Amino acid sequence: MTSKEMMAWVQLLGVAVVGGWLGWDALNGGAVGSTAEIAQKLLWAVGAMIGLNIVGAIIGTILVSIAQREELKDEPADERDHLVSAKSQRNSAIATSILAALALIPLAMGAGVNLAVYALFVAPVVGGTINAASELYYYRTM
Amino acid sequence: MGKGQANVSNTIRTLRFHAGEMTQAALAEKVGVTRQTIVAIEQGRYSPSLEVAFRIAHVFGVPLDQVFQWTPPEPDA
């Protein structure tokens, strides 16, 4: 496993953990409240994902280094890395754009502004998730 | 550059063998790409850019067509 693949796994894990927390919170009545309350919660979620990525990168590097019996180094990107990145970002941009556009439909039909706050959070997070998943896919197939 | 086409083959594994069992890591360092990219090229999963292809040929001191071979696709019936 390369450093770039490890980081993609860490990102997916972070989304799973934070998404699980938000889902559990929503099922327990956390999805209702003032716009400010929901925005604050989502800000904490953003912070949690950043923190998980930092901690996950450190722990992941140590664990992968031990498993591979070789120090895991972040090598400079070459042309294949750039191609994988470009294709993954394209997928991510498509998903983010579609989700953002879809979020406008219920808002146009009069849904509450809280939905817009969730859409502001969910669309880029899903885009980032698709970016990470795409990277893992392309690194295995090309 | 792009996803490896099935009709592009290469002899990198053989050339590495004849170059004193050169490792993929050593070849990658000489060419200036990652070892994973050499693995992908060798397995035919990734077709490198023309520049990287020339660099690989240069490392082994052989012409480009001795490293990479292209078979024209079968015409549709």
Closest chain B CA to residue A141:
B45
Enter the pTM of the model.
0.83
Average pLDDT over residues A17-44: 90
The 10s digit of each residue's pLDDT in A89-140 is 999 999 999 999 999 999 899 988 888 899 999 999 999 999 999 999 999 9
* Per-residue pLDDT, B6: 61
Q: Is the ipTM of this complex over 0.85?
A: no
A91 to chain B, any CB pair closer than 8 A? The answer is: no
The 10s digit of each residue's pLDDT in A38-62 is 999 999 999 999 999 999 999 999 9
Under an 8 A CB cutoff, do A80 and B37 touch? yes
Give burial (CB, 10 Å; 0-12/13-18/19+) of A132: buried
| Res B74 pLDDT > 90 | no
* Per-residue pLDDT, B77: 54
